[in-house]
Amino acid sequence: MCNKSFDLDIFSQILKEELVPAMGCTEPIALAYAGAKAREVLGTLPDKITVEASGSIIKNVKSVIVPNTGSLKGIPAAVSAGIVLGKADKKLEVLSDIKESEIPKISEFLEKAEIEVKHLKSDFNFDIVITAKKEESYAKIRIANAHTNIVLIEKNGKKLLESKVRCESDEGFTDRSVLSGEAIWKYVNNVDIEDIKPIIKR
């Protein structure tokens, strides 16, 4: 059972884990990262993509502009940007190297590729499964619990990586179940700003 007691250090650690270098809103960037990883594993540009995402991700990404895409919005745009031009090794900065002259390639891909978005029924608020296909080959990537936490890499029926999705704290992440409006307000009013200055300064 995850511990739900109030502790300033726990809230500061959550802040540290959330404030990581990222380009834009983290949900679409995580989708772009998953797309870039799927392309990398597949080894070629796919022509059919299935995106399964938990409800909170679908809600949060629906109207968000994806960085470096020429103001494109939504899940298909985020995934396509990662697939076409993303660099998976940069994680949440996956789209940072896109040049303005390259941006039209994303829209071209969106017009040609078959992209299906499905609601993923999951016990986790943050859960993404992307399956990228080219003819008879496919690559599947699952990210759960945190924006770069890949728990499944599968290619053509072979699992190259698989991790059990557990409580966030069991995966090295601080348990978010301690978060509530009241607890966050209590933290804000009690934390010493000097203690978290290194976290927020960047």
Going from the N-terminus, what domains does the chain have, and what CATH number goes with each?
21-163 (3.30.1330.90)
Q: pLDDT digits over 130-176, tens only?
A: 999 999 999 999 999 888 899 999 999 999 999 887 654 444 567 77
2 in catalytic set: no
Token pair for 123: 């016990």
**Beta-carbon contacts of residue 158 (< 8 Å; ≥ 6 apart):** none
- Higher per-residue pLDDT: 79 or 3: 79
pLDDT tens per residue across span 127-140: 999 999 999 999 99
Longest distance between any two alpha carbons in the chain, whole Å: 57
* pLDDT tens column, 87-124: 999 998 999 999 999 999 999 999 999 999 999 999 88
Cβ pair 167, 176 in contact under 8 A: no
**What percent of the chain stands above pLDDT 90?**
61
pLDDT at res. 167: 54
Where does residue 196 rank: exposed (0-12), middle (13-18), buried (19+ CB within 10 A)?
A: middle
Give the number of C-alpha atoms closer than 13 A to the C-alpha of residue 185, restricted to the C-beta side: 3
Which of 15, 20, 25, 196 is the catalytic position? Answer: 25
